[in-house]
Structure 1
């Protein structure tokens, strides 16, 4: 059975980003997460991470088409 929720550490590993980058994504609302329990542990639903990745693919494709970004 697949995990429904991921920790921010899982998100950093999957996206190959730093913990501060993952926190910033959640804090800004760009990547939706929920805070659970008294200690305020953050979790990101697997479906939300997949939706975020799909949005990033679309945004990147748009920037490439408009010439805003190049492949280095």
Structure 2
């Protein structure tokens, strides 16, 4: 378990193991998620880093029109 001290200004130093696990360096941005008294720290990623994150090999691109048709078909299909 890692720990650090909070200064009077509310600052702390991330322990080296934590920085390594998050792959953060000086100047990187972090995000803090609050859950019932717990905090999760994530390395903030620019939107451009998400390019291709959903791509799978062999997957054929689908047009916007085809997506709209599938959504409309699903919205009218009430068999479930």
TM-score (norm 2): 0.22
Pick 1 or 2: higher relative contact order, CA cutoff 8 A, min separation 6.
1
Q: TM-score, normalised by structure 1?
A: 0.24
Higher helix share: 1
